[in-house]
Chain A
Amino acid sequence: MTALVAIFMALMASSLQAILPTWGAMGHAKMPLLLCLALYYALTRRKQVALAIAIFLGLIQDTQGMTPVGVSLLAFFAVVFVINSYREEVFILHPATHAIFAFCASVVADLVMLILLGLLAPGLKLGIWATLARILGTASMAAICLPVVYQAVWHLDLALGNVKKRGVAWP
């Protein structure tokens, strides 16, 4: 059932991420719904499941645009791996934790993507200020977005019996 929910949410998140508007003040950053979904699974599932879902979501993001396959996949994998490893050190049920995790994860994911895009897509031209605004914009939106995504998917998982009330689904 977790796989079905993940696939359904991935389709919804990728569609919404592609059609939602962007703001100039935030560097025309996209709402990082797929990343937030990957982070939700990093916070609520055991490592193997979270990483498998991160790869799937990264693949969806890469194949939906002009990004070479593997760029988002590797970025998502890296942040999910780190967050999944350190989640037990913090209050993972608190929205403030989600917001901080999302902000940091988004910055790291964007930096990993930038490095990989530099290697795999040398034709891509990025201005320094536009890129900085975009990274901060994405991170701010991730910080707002993850608590909402977490609650939405957690309640769906709860209704379907994928997670226990006031708890998480690992191991």
Chain B
Amino acid sequence: MAFAVIMIAALSLPSALQSRIGDVSREVVAPLQSGLSIFGSRLREASLAIRGLGGMAAQNREMSQELTRLRNEVRVGRALASENRRLRAALQLRQTYPDELIPSEVVARDITGWWRTVRVAKDSGVEVPVNSTAITADGLVGKVVSSSRNTADILLVSDPTCRVSVRIERVGVSGVLSGVHSLGKGRALCRLDFINKDVEVRVGDEVVTSGLGGIFPKGLLVGRIARVYRGPAGLYQYADVVPSADLSNLNIVFLIEPRLEGF
């Protein structure tokens, strides 16, 4: 009888209380998850270091070249950003891109496997609201769905419940992207629905966020088109999109606070 009462109470808890219990539970488990995650990554790093000793000189040379190239790009990018800020201010346009990125380390994935989420450990002093955007250097990762003092849970862009308003950069066509369940190996896959059938969409086209919908900032790279096909009725085109961020191998993500106008 007592067990039945406990279960009925658990199933009918108000969402605010569920969220509070979840926050407490996450805060208790997060340090252990973080510790185990760090231990695991140290082991992986040690194993990679031992296996890759021979190729380290060549790798170092490549990375030095890459660093030089990226430094040049950053210098050019800074000048362009500064010019862009001046021009936007002159035209009284809203700022589209944030200045501040919050680095966070991925410590765990969804415990049940029903959703595609990752948990990140963040600085306790940093407030990360729900719907903050998560990115890596390669592209969009997802959005924050819950946040507690030291952790935040991110719903990945490959989850079917995560819908992103996007634009195909080359042709300027907008659409809604969502994750698909895929079997087997390989990277996660998303699908872009209801593309006008008369638009010529090519494999390899870049897909970026459109900024519509008010959650994701405009212009973030989401992925590239891997396959284009017609629907059964032939009225629309559909496209499979491979996310540019490697969602199965996330270590550090950057969170963007949705504090600016235009988000």
Partners in one complex: yes
Are B25 and A127 interface neighbours, CB within 8 A?
no
CB distance from B36 to the nearest CB of A (A): 5
Give the interface segment out of B85-93, B95-103, B120-128, B179-187: B179-187
Q: Cβ of A133: which chain B residues have Cβ within 8 Å of it? A: 183
- Tell me, in angstroms, the Cα distance from A51 to B146 when the chains sit together: 30
- Tell me, in angstroms, the Cα distance from A74 to B3 when the chains sit together: 10
Interface residue? A27 (CB, 8 A)? yes
Are A123 and B161 interface neighbours, CB within 8 A?
yes
Q: Which of A63-85 contact B (CB under 8 A)?
A: 63-70, 72-74, 77
Are B181 and A66 interface neighbours, CB within 8 A?
no
- Tell me, in angstroms, the Cα distance from A125 to B180 when the chains sit together: 9
Are A64 and B114 interface neighbours, CB within 8 A?
no
- Tell me, in angstroms, the Cα distance from A113 to B37 when the chains sit together: 28
Q: Cβ of A14: which chain B residues have Cβ within 8 Å of it? A: 29, 111
Can you name 13 A-B pairs with beta carbons within 8 Å? A15-B36, A18-B108, A24-B186, A25-B185, A30-B109, A30-B112, A59-B10, A63-B24, A64-B22, A66-B110, A67-B114, A69-B21, A124-B115
- Tell me, in angstroms, the Cα distance from A98 to B250 when the chains sit together: 35
Q: Cβ of A28: which chain B residues have Cβ within 8 Å of it? A: 113
Are A66 and B36 interface neighbours, CB within 8 A?
no
Are A130 and B183 interface neighbours, CB within 8 A?
yes
Interface residues of A (CB under 8 A from B): 11-12, 14-19, 22, 24-25, 27-30, 34, 51-52, 55, 59-61, 63-70, 72-74, 77, 113, 117, 120, 123-127, 129-131, 133-134, 138
Q: Cβ of B12: which chain A residues have Cβ within 8 Å of it? A: 70
Interface residue? B6 (CB, 8 A)? yes
Are A15 and B113 interface neighbours, CB within 8 A?
no
Over the window 1-30 of chain B, the binary record of Cβ atoms lying under 8 Å from chain A Cβ atoms (1 yes, 0 no) is 001001100111100001001101110110
Q: Cβ of A27: which chain B residues have Cβ within 8 Å of it? A: 183
Q: State the 3 A-B residue pairs at the shortest beta-carbon distance, nearest first.
A: A63-B25, A18-B108, A130-B181
Are A30 and B7 interface neighbours, CB within 8 A?
no
Chain B residue with minimal CB distance to A54?
B3
Q: Cβ of B3: which chain A residues have Cβ within 8 Å of it? A: 51-52, 55, 77
Are B107 and A19 interface neighbours, CB within 8 A?
yes
CB distance from B134 to the nearest CB of A (A): 15
Q: Cβ of B155: which chain A residues have Cβ within 8 Å of it? A: 66
Q: Cβ of B22: which chain A residues have Cβ within 8 Å of it? A: 63-64, 69
Are A11 and B7 interface neighbours, CB within 8 A?
no
With A63-B21, A124-B115 as known contacts, state yes or no: A18 contacts B160, CB within 8 Å.
Answer: no
Secondary structure at the B interface, as helix, strand, loop or mixed, is mixed
The size bracket of the interface on B is 35 or more
Interface residue? B153 (CB, 8 A)? yes
Tell me which of A19, A25, A67 contacts B112 (CB under 8 A): A67
Tell me which of B11, B111, B185 contacts A65 (CB under 8 A): B111
Q: Cβ of B104: which chain A residues have Cβ within 8 Å of it? A: none
Q: Cβ of A65: which chain B residues have Cβ within 8 Å of it? A: 110-112, 114-115, 117, 153
Interface residue? B33 (CB, 8 A)? yes
Interface residue? B203 (CB, 8 A)? no
CB distance from B189 to the nearest CB of A (A): 11
Q: Cβ of B224: which chain A residues have Cβ within 8 Å of it? A: none
Q: Which of B165-209 contact A (CB under 8 A)?
A: 180-186
Are A19 and B33 interface neighbours, CB within 8 A?
yes
Chain A residue with minimal CB distance to B9?
A70
Q: Which of B115-154 contact A (CB under 8 A)?
A: 115, 117, 119, 145-146, 153
Interface residue? B43 (CB, 8 A)? no
CB distance from A46 to the nearest CB of B (A): 14
Given A29-B113, A125-B160, 18 additional A-B pairs, CB 8 A: A14-B111, A18-B111, A34-B111, A63-B22, A64-B111, A66-B110, A66-B145, A67-B112, A69-B13, A69-B18, A70-B7, A70-B12, A113-B112, A117-B114, A125-B161, A126-B114, A129-B183, A138-B113
